[in-house]
Amino acid sequence: METGKQDMSKSNLARLSGGADFIWHCLPPKGRSGGILLGFRDTTSELSVIVEGEFYIKFHLCNKSDNFRWILMAVYGPAQDEYKAAFLTELVRANQQNSLPTLIGGNFNILRSRWPFLFNVVIDSFDLREIELSGRQFTWANSLPVPTYEKLDRALMSSEWEFKYPFVMVQDLDRGVSDHTPLLLDMGSPAFEGTSKQFEFEVSWLSHDDFHNKVVEIWKKPAKGKNVVQKWNNKLSALRRYCRGWAANNGGRYKRGKADLQGKIIDLDVKAESGDLLEEEHQLLARSRDQLATLLR
């Protein structure tokens, strides 16, 4: 995952993990490279080694269920052409050290049409195979009125890793207002879906006229407690209860609006990949992205 941050706060990491126990490692951005965040659920795997490169993070993992040992590697390739050779060279060296079944994913920032020889050398030399993306052709688009589409984000696996997980698949997710399409890799085994009871604050709530006044009203109510800390925690609990109820009453319309916009964007985005959008459809796509960005604020 690209971060664009020097460090990640515990609250952000907790939201990403959805209430599960994850171990995270962050590689800060360097220059115009976006930085990398890699994590795994420590109830399912054990970590033995972390390896950092200029353009990657590598975990040596062991499954707790069957003692299968493998390597999980996240990469972020440079956008500048003058650094791509260095990136591919480092990728070769990193794979030379991989003695275990390997899964590699991330933003390679490589067009196979422009760097066919070096990139294919990496794939062929280490018996890697790209996991085909289901649902669409490309993973990145710019924000021009008529966007340019490219496939920059990929998942590669070694033949030994594929033998262990023969039903692996990569699916595209809604990219919303981002220029990159998130990718979901399904290893063919049940995935953790998060803790449904975890409280999540939606920034869009602040745009509702009645929300601020009601929060102030709830916060000003007396709270029980033997000390300041207990009173503070009880106030927060009361506020969370109110927010959950308020969101349940008001969230239906918000969710329907969000889902409708996301559906329009996905349909038009996929159609635009083949260059078949009419002018009014380009305008509708741009308006839908603006409306979704406003809704998510």
pLDDT digits (tens, 9 = 90+) for 233-256: 788 888 888 887 777 776 666 677
Contacts of 69 (CB under 8 A, 6+ apart): 60, 61, 62, 63, 100, 101
- DSSP letters for 98-122: --S-EEEEEE----TTTSHHHHHHH
Residue 288, pLDDT score: 81
Q: What is the pLDDT of residue 199?
A: 66
Confidence of residue 83 (pLDDT cuts 50, 70, 90): confident
pLDDT higher than 50, residue 91:
yes
d(CA 37, CA 173): 19
pLDDT at position 192 is 43
Superfamily in which the 10-186 domain is placed by CATH: Endonuclease/exonuclease/phosphatase (3.60.10.10)
Kindly state the average pLDDT of the residues 79-90.
84
Report residue 260 as tokens. 């409708």
Per residue in 256-267, pLDDT (tens digit) is 777 777 777 778
For position 34, what pLDDT does the model report? 62
pLDDT at 229: 77
The confidence score (pLDDT) of residue 5 equals 53
Cα–Cα distances in angstroms (integers) from residue 24 to residues 77, 102, 161, in the given order: 20, 19, 22
Instruction: Map out the domains of the chain as residue ranges.
Output: 10-186, 203-296
The confidence score (pLDDT) of residue 191 equals: 43
Determine the average pLDDT of the residues in 285-296.
Answer: 76
pLDDT tens sequence across 9-54 = 677 777 777 777 888 888 877 655 567 889 998 888 999 999 999 9
For residue 230, what pLDDT band results from cuts at 50, 70 and 90? confident
Residue percentage of the chain with pLDDT more than 70: 84
- Which segment, 91-100, 172-181, 219-228, 267-276, is predicted with the most confidence on average? 91-100
Q: What is the pLDDT of residue 269?
A: 78
The beta-carbon contacts of 182-186 under 8 Å, at least 24 apart in sequence, are 183/105, 183/133, 183/139, 183/153, 183/155, 185/103, 185/105, 185/131, 185/155
pLDDT digits (tens, 9 = 90+) for 174-221: 777 778 888 888 887 644 444 545 666 776 677 777 788 888 888 888
What are the two backbone dihedrals, phi and then psi, of residue 293, each rounded to the nearest 5 degrees?
-60, -40
Six-digit token string for 122: 């990496």
